[in-house]
Amino acid sequence: MPTERQKEFAKLIEPHLSSLYSTALRMTHNQNDAEDLVQDTLFKAFRALDQYQKNTNFRAWIFRILVNTFITAYRKAIKQPQKISYDDMEEFFLYKRLDETVSLQETNKEEFLESLFEDDVKEALDNLPYQFRLVVLLCDVEGFSYNEIANIIDAPSGTVMSRLYRGRRLLQRYLWNYAKTRGYITDDFKKKS
């Protein structure tokens, strides 16, 4: 029989379990590793439960443990971020590329977004360097605020913003590349002359 403490813990975790798995999957790229990561996170959280202050932000608290666990477990595996050129990291990259195409006129830009496959969006995210991916996931997928993310990843909010904005710009480039290779942009794709 579960003890009171275990029951209390299960009740706290339950609303966040899906988010924890979802994030773990995007960070580890595979089901088994994601399972392990979430499980390790939960063990640590259970042991540290006394440090959690009641009625404070449990969701941010548990995500902070998830991120720490991920970084500790993958420290050696995580490659140093490749040198990414930020020269052409212009704002509105995807919009501008779509705008230059003949086959995608005004009304179709949002339809284009709707038509993206879930797997393409996930793959684009998976390809981001992990620091960027983490921040984009926490903000855009899980809905954390800048301050919460700063707390979760233990970095100043200026760092959160710069990683988030760069991450999103990179993501737009990846999505544009998919659009070209997966045939979202049809044969008559060419630059407006």
Partner 1 sequence: MYDCADIERLAQRYVDGKLNDEEKMLFEKHLEYCLPCDKKIEFELKLKEIIRIKAKEKFNPVDLEAKLMDFVRKLN
Q: Which of 37, 62, 164, 170 binds partner 1 (CB under 8 A)?
A: 164
Q: Does 36 bind partner 1 (CB under 8 A)?
A: no
Q: Which is nearer to partner 1, 73 or 141 (CB)?
A: 141
Q: Which residue has the tokens 């902070």?
A: 64
CA distance linking residue 174 with residue 121, whole number of Å: 9
- Candidates 41-49, 52-60, 80-88, 184-192: pick the segment binding partner 1 (CB under 8 A): 41-49
Q: Does 59 bind partner 1 (CB under 8 A)?
A: no
Give the Å distances, CA to CA, from 147 to 63, 69, 131, 137, 155.
13, 20, 16, 15, 10
CA distance linking residue 141 with residue 132, whole number of Å: 13
Q: Does 45 bind partner 1 (CB under 8 A)?
A: no
CA distance linking residue 52 with residue 115, whole number of Å: 42
Q: Does 10 bind partner 1 (CB under 8 A)?
A: yes
Q: Which of 92, 182, 186, 190 binds partner 1 (CB under 8 A)?
A: 92
Let me know: does 125 contact 171? Beta carbons within 8 Å: yes
Tokens, residue 99: 């705008």
The DSSP symbol for 103 reads S
Q: Which is nearer to partner 1, 71 or 116 (CB)?
A: 116
Helix/strand/coil for 191:
strand
Q: Which of 81, 143, 156, 183 binds partner 1 (CB under 8 A)?
A: 143
Q: Which of 30, 86, 102, 110 binds partner 1 (CB under 8 A)?
A: 110
State the angle between helix axes of 17-28 and 31-47 in degrees (0 to 180), rounded to the nearest 10: 130
Q: Does 4 bind partner 1 (CB under 8 A)?
A: no
CA distance linking residue 74 with residue 157, whole number of Å: 24
Q: Does 17 bind partner 1 (CB under 8 A)?
A: yes
Query: Which residues bind to partner 1, rule: CB under 8 A?
Result: 2, 6-7, 9-10, 13-14, 17-18, 21-22, 25-26, 39, 42-43, 46, 91-92, 94-95, 106, 109-110, 113-114, 116-118, 121-122, 125, 136-137, 139-141, 143, 146, 161, 164-165, 168, 171-172
